Amino acid sequence: METLWQEYQNEIITSVVTMLVLLFTRFLSIQAIRRVGRISDLDKVRTRLIIKYVMVGHTLVFIVALIAIWGVSIRDLGIILSSVFAVIGVALFASWSILSNVTAGVILFFSFPFKIGDRIRVLDKDLGEDFTEFTIEDIRAFHVHLRQPGGSLITYPNNLLLQKAVALLPSTPEDSEGSEAL
């Protein structure tokens, strides 16, 4: 055990310091995301989802740092990673819309143009004239649940909310009647 410590002392100390720094930055990031969620009055489930994304990102940074610290051979790592990325690339190409919806969900979280309970109008000719006004019921990682005035629930992809024009409406129909007079 003593020889193991002497042989890898620098790597062990650097790994521990890296882990502590990443844990500290993870803590600060999570606190900042919670603060943004609280200030912007965002749903707690939505905030937790973004926190999960940040935790995955920090874990990936930690793995890359450990690979660099311990001096893993780039050639060996390259062979493994090229095989893994080939499989992942095929899988992501097959499901690119899922990845774009998750990315759109993160963008919607940080730009917070609307929140749960808001009334919106989606300007999408594919929906038709009868299906343009909705109340936001839930914002998830991949999609948004929209309730029509008649009571029907529609699942709308996050990436389409970023691609289509969306108008934020007054909270009640009576509010919009008063604003038309102005």
How far apart (Å, rounded) are the C-alpha atoms in residues 137 and 59? 32
Give the residue with greater pLDDT, 81 vs 62.
Answer: 62
pLDDT of residue 179: 43
Out of 23-32, 105-114, 121-130, 164-173, the most confident range is: 23-32
Looking at residue 181, its pLDDT comes to: 38
Cα dihedral across residues 135, 138, 139, 142: positive or negative? negative
Pairwise CA distance, residues 24 & 16, whole Å: 12
d(CA 118, CA 171): 6
Could you say which DSSP state residue 131 is in?
G
* Positions of E strands within 19-164: 119-123, 133-139, 143-147, 153-157
Show the tokens assigned to 98. Answer: 């899922």
Among the residue ranges 14-23, 111-120, 128-137, the one predicted with the least confidence is 128-137
Q: Which two tokens stand for residue 37?
A: 């969620």
Query: Long-range contacts made by residues 31-39, C-beta under 8 angstroms, separation at least 24?
Result: 36/110
Indicate the pTM of the whole model: 0.52
Contact 182, 132 (CB under 8 A): no
| Mean pLDDT calculated for residue range 130-153 | 84
